[in-house]
Amino acid sequence: MRRQLIEALSYPRLLVQRIMEENDCPHDGVFEATSERCHTCDLNSECHWVAYLSNFSGLEDKAIHTLNASLRYGIRLVENVHSELRHDETMCTCEACVWIRDAQRLTEEFEAHLAPNPYRQTH
């Protein structure tokens, strides 16, 4: 399951990196705390997320709940990026829609078969 979660993270990671390149990020997608441009950039949180994921060897050591949470964030990110296309995500066969369905199934499988996150508050 861990390997599947890590592999699934590559699609949204590459998508954000491509968007950062299109926006001509002067810091190569690395948040710079002293940069005014970084503080006003629309990709601020996505930039932090990609920086976190860039060290894939480090992901092997992350808690599996953290990987699942990262994938959930990636799903929302891909949905938001492609929302203007108005695809029917349940039927569309484009790469993004297929990835969204597969990633959602993976997170659902994870959440159905593993113990709950001991650090998450329940309401």
pLDDT in tens, 25-58: 776 667 677 878 777 777 767 776 777 676 555 7
Task: Give 9-71 as a DSSP string.
Answer: THHHHHHHHHHHHHTT-TTTT---TT-HHHHH-TTHHHHHHHHHHT-HHHHTTS-HHHHHHHH
- What the block records as the tokens of 57 is 């060897």
More confident site: 54 or 7: 7
pLDDT recorded at residue 43: 72
Using pLDDT thresholds of 50, 70 and 90, give the confidence band for residue 114: low
Q: What is the mean pLDDT of the chain?
A: 81
Rounded distance between C-alpha atoms, residue 49 and residue 59, angstroms: 12
Mean pLDDT for 6-30 is: 82
pLDDT recorded at residue 49: 76
Packing angle, helices 10-22 and 95-113, rounded to 10: 140
Spatial CA neighbour of 117 closest among 42, 67, 82: 67
Residue 73: pLDDT over 80: yes
The pTM of this model reads 0.78
Using pLDDT thresholds of 50, 70 and 90, give the confidence band for residue 123: low
- How far is C-alpha 65 from the geometric centre of its chain's CA atoms? 14
Percent of the chain with pLDDT over 70: 81
